[in-house]
Amino acid sequence: MTQLKTGSDLIPSARLENGTLFASINGEINLYNTPDMRTILLHLMQQHPIKNLALNLSHVAYVDSSAIAIFVELLQKTRKAGGLVYLIGIQPRVRGLLEIVRLDKLFKIVASESDIAA
Confidence of residue 118 (pLDDT cuts 50, 70, 90): low
Whether residue 55 contacts residue 86, with contact meaning beta carbons closer than 8 Å, is answered with yes
User: What is the reported pLDDT for 66?
Assistant: 95
* Cα 54 → chain centroid: 5
User: What is the reported pLDDT for 105?
Assistant: 92
For 19-31, how does the pLDDT look when each residue is reduced to its tens digit (9 = 90+)?
999 999 999 999 9
Contacts of 33 (CB under 8 A, 6+ apart): 10, 27
Domain 2-115, CATH 3.30.750.24 — does that match? Answer: yes
Runs of H (alpha helix) within 14-84: 34-47, 65-80
Compute the distance between CA of residue 67 and CA of residue 49 in angstroms, rounded to an integer.
23
**pLDDT at residue 107 above 60?**
yes
Other CB atoms within 10 Å distance of the CB of residue 6 = 19
User: What is the reported pLDDT for 49?
Assistant: 85
Compute the distance between CA of residue 108 and CA of residue 13 in angstroms, rounded to an integer.
21
For 14-62, how does the pLDDT look when each residue is reduced to its tens digit (9 = 90+)?
999 999 999 999 999 999 999 999 999 999 999 988 999 999 999 999 9
Confidence of residue 8 (pLDDT cuts 50, 70, 90): very high
User: What is the reported pLDDT for 1?
Assistant: 79
For 63-88, how does the pLDDT look when each residue is reduced to its tens digit (9 = 90+)?
999 999 999 999 999 999 999 999 99
